[in-house]
Every structure is written in structure tokens, then in C-alpha cells.
Amino acid sequence: MKNYDVIAVGLGPAACSAALYTAMGGYKTLLVGQAAGSLYKAEKIVNFYGQEVISGKELFEKGISRAKEVGAEVEYAQVVEIAYEEGGFKVKSDKSEYFAKAVLLATGAARGKPKLGGLSEFDGKGVSWCAVCDGFFYRKKKVGVYGAGQYALGEAKYLSGIGCDVTVFTDGRETDEPWEKTEKRKIRTLYGGDLLGGAELEDGEQIPLSAMFIAEGVASSSDFAKMIGLETDGNYIKIDARCATNCRGIYAAGDCTGGLLQVAKAVGDGAVAGVEICKYLKTL
């Protein structure tokens, strides 16, 4: 396991801005995430202070380059789990495991819900968005994981490890890595009574399930918030004026905290978080 003073989960403007302060402050800093998100995909950025019209991808790459110049390390990987560890936090990606004394969540806004029949009807009644949070209640039972990427695979591995009988439902997509029990047929709808009963496939076959864990795409900051018990307001993480969450040592910045979803705000949030993380690390 690689050890750091601070890990920023995300590679966008909030994460890079914070890394400037923590790395220049002498703290071993890692940014881990993927080249994705709204900034990376933006055709043009026209309203950022002191910057001429620039593509989102170019601005993203400039942020990464500057963070590296001041000593921050960058790893392109998909974070799938954050957990408490003695003296700090364990951060697990699809490539490695890391330890940090402080963590900054800066993965952008939460992803949308998949278009899945019965999803809202059984939300909280067998449909779950967090294996670490709810898996305990379904040990030794048949459960499903909905998704096709590394995040879904990570949830499946966790659930299997605590004794669940896990089927991964890819909804017709190819998986990054095969799972022993994979169902590629599309789901027509989730069914049940007061609680989830299972998934009905496109050909009418019904597969009984006690739970369906939604792990679509890449884990967002709100997903990690659920894993470690952070307070949220809808899909946004609650923070104070110091960008601190209700958990000592965990901070959040940028779009995942709501408000104005703009590069300028994310950079400002990141600066506040970076300074406050430095202050926090000095107390340890």
C-alpha cells in the first residue's frame, strides 16, 4: 500500500487547485482519477479569469501539469472504495491501494440515475446505491449489481466477500473484466411487492433477487459519501466554510458540493480545501 499525506480523488480544477497548496506546503500529495468529467468534455471555456478562450481538455491538462510541477503525483485510475483505516483512510482503485491521512473528494457532480423500470419504486426497499452501506443486510442472499465497469466489479467483489450470491447485470454491455455470474440480457423492469422481488429481463424471464445494487459508470463523490457516512443534501456533500465534511480528515470541493457549477468556483473551493488540509495535517 502506497502512503501519502493527502489524496485528492479527482483530477479536475478543485483537486488540482488543492494540490498546489498541499504539495507546495511540503505534504506528499496524490491525485487519482480519470480524464473525464464536464471540464474535460467542454468544447470551449470562455469565462475563466486571465485565460483566453481555451478547450476544456487543454485547461484540464494544464491543471494536471502544474500540479505535477509543484510535486504532486498523478495516477490515472478509477477509485472504487474509500474506507476508514487506523490513523487515516484507505483508498482503493482498480490499479492499487493507497493510505492517506486526509482525503479530498473532488470527483464532480453525481451521475444521473439509470433508466431502469421499478428503480424509484424499490429505492430503499431492495434497491441500494452502496454495497458497503447495505450489503450486511443481504448476506447469504441472492443480489444483483447493475453496471458494467470497474465500479460495478468492485461492488460485486465486496458483496461476494461478505457471503452474497452475486449476479452482475450489464444491461447488454460488455464488461471491463468478466464476473463468474454475469447477465448480459437487458432488464425490462424490477418487480416485487412491498420489497424488491427480482429483475424481469427483456425476454420475460424473472430472476429472483433480494437486492439490486446500482453501480453504474464511475463512482461519484456522493457514492463515496455514502460509503463512509458523510452528510449529504440530495446528491451533494455537505461542507462548512472550510470545505470540511462532518468526518474529521475528509474534505470536499467543487461540483460535488453543489452551488455554482463553474470552473472558477471549483478552483476557489480547491484553494480553500488545500489550505485547510495543510492546517489539519499540522495538528497530527
Q: Which of 214, 245, 267 is the last residue of a domain?
A: 214
135 in the same domain as 83: no
Mean pLDDT of 1-27: 97
Q: Pick from 163, 193, 214: which residue ends a domain?
A: 214
Mark which of 188, 214, 240 sits at the end of a domain: 214
The three cell numbers of residue 156 are: 460485486
Domain-located, residue 116: no
CA pair distance 205, 194, nearest whole angstrom: 21
Sign of CA dihedral 172, 176, 178, 181: negative
Tell which residue, 25, 234, 229, has the closest CA to residue 133: 229
Total count of domains within the chain: 2
| Contacts of residue 29, Cβ cutoff 8 Å, sequence gap at least 6 | 4, 5, 6, 7, 8, 19, 22, 23, 67, 71, 72, 73
What percent of the chain has pLDDT above 90? 67
Which of 94, 108, 75 has its CA nearest to residue 4? 75
Report DSSP state, residue 255.
G
Range of the domain at 106: 2-110+219-282
Higher-pLDDT residue of 112, 12? 12
User: pLDDT tens, 29-40?
Assistant: 999 998 767 787
The answer to whether residue 121 is domain-embedded is no
- Mean pLDDT, residues 239-246: 97
Residue 167 placed within a domain: yes
Q: In terms of domains, do 73 and 54 share one?
A: yes
**Model pLDDT, residue 111:** 58
Q: Please, which pLDDT band fits residue 112 given cuts at 50, 70 and 90?
A: low
DSSP 249: T
**Which of 26-35, 139-148, 160-169, 257-266 has the least mean pLDDT?**
257-266
| Mode of pairing for the β-strands spanning 236-237 and 232-233 | antiparallel
Same domain, 34 and 171: no
**pLDDT averaged over the chain?**
91
More confident residue, 35 or 158: 158
Q: How far does Cα 66 stand from its chain's mean position?
A: 24
